[in-house]
Amino acid sequence: MELAAKLEAALVAHVAAQTFPDYFTAADQVRPGESDEDITRQFLRCRAAGQAESEYPLDTGNFWWQCEVELRTPVAEQTAAEASSADTAESTSQLAKHQAIAAILEDAILVDDLPAQLTAAAVALGTGYELTVFGLQDRLPARDQSDDVYSSGWKFRVYCCSKAF
C-alpha cells in the first residue's frame, strides 16, 4: 500500500474516533482523499498530497508529507418546519452543524500527541497499514464559504515512514 494511502487511512481512523453529534455518522462521513463516491452532504475528507515534499535524511525512507483534513458542509436554507423539528438533524442549521464539527476537528488535530495517535491508528488498522509518524509541523487552519458550501480544515506536514517500529 502506498504511504499516502496509509497516512489517509490513519487520519480517517483518528478523526472518525472522535465523539460527534447524532446527525454526523463518522463511519459514513469521514472519508479518505481518494474515493470514487459522489458526496452531496456534510463530510470530512482526509487527504495526503500527491507526492512527498522531501526524503530526510536522504536514503532513509523517512518523508515529509503534506496532509489536509477538510470539512465541507452544503449551504441549505432551513424551512420553518425543519427549524421547529424535534429531530436535531433537521432543526440544527447547516452553519451550526458546520461549526460544531469544525470545533471537533480542531480538537482532534491540535492534540499534543497527534503523531503517536496517528501511529496507533495505523497499528489498529492491521497488516498492510505499517506506518510510523515521527512528528508534525506547520499546522495551519483554513476556512472559506461559497454560495453552496462552508469549508473549514487544517493543513500540516507529517514526518513519517512506511514501516512500523
Convert the pLDDT of each residue in 137-152 to its tens digit.
999 999 999 888 899 9
Whole-model pTM: value is 0.89
pLDDT at 39: 64
CB 24 within 8 A of CB 39: no
Concatenating the DSSP letter of every residue in 8-58 gives HHHHHHHHHTS---TT--HHHHEEESS------S-EEEEEE-SS-SEESST
pLDDT at 120: 96
pLDDT at 29: 93
Spatial separation of the C-alpha atoms in residues 34 and 145, rounded to whole Å: 23
Spell out the domain ranges in the chain: 3-161
pLDDT at 38: 64
Q: What percentage of the chain exceeds 70 in pLDDT?
A: 95
pLDDT at 108: 97
Spatial separation of the C-alpha atoms in residues 65 and 147, rounded to whole Å: 32
Q: Torsions phi, psi of 158, nearest 5?
A: -115, 130
Distances (CA, A) of 32 to 1, 10, 27, 46: 14, 9, 11, 5
The closest of 28, 126, 97, 107 to 69, measured between CA atoms, is: 107
**Coil, helix or strand for 86?**
coil
pLDDT at 36: 66
pLDDT at 41: 81
Spatial separation of the C-alpha atoms in residues 94 and 16, rounded to whole Å: 20
Alpha carbon distance, N-terminus to C-terminus of the chain: 17
Residue with the bigger pLDDT between 42 and 101: it is: 101
Range 3-161: architecture per CATH: 2-Layer Sandwich (3.30)
Task: Encode pLDDT of 117-134 as tens digits.
Answer: 999 999 999 999 999 999
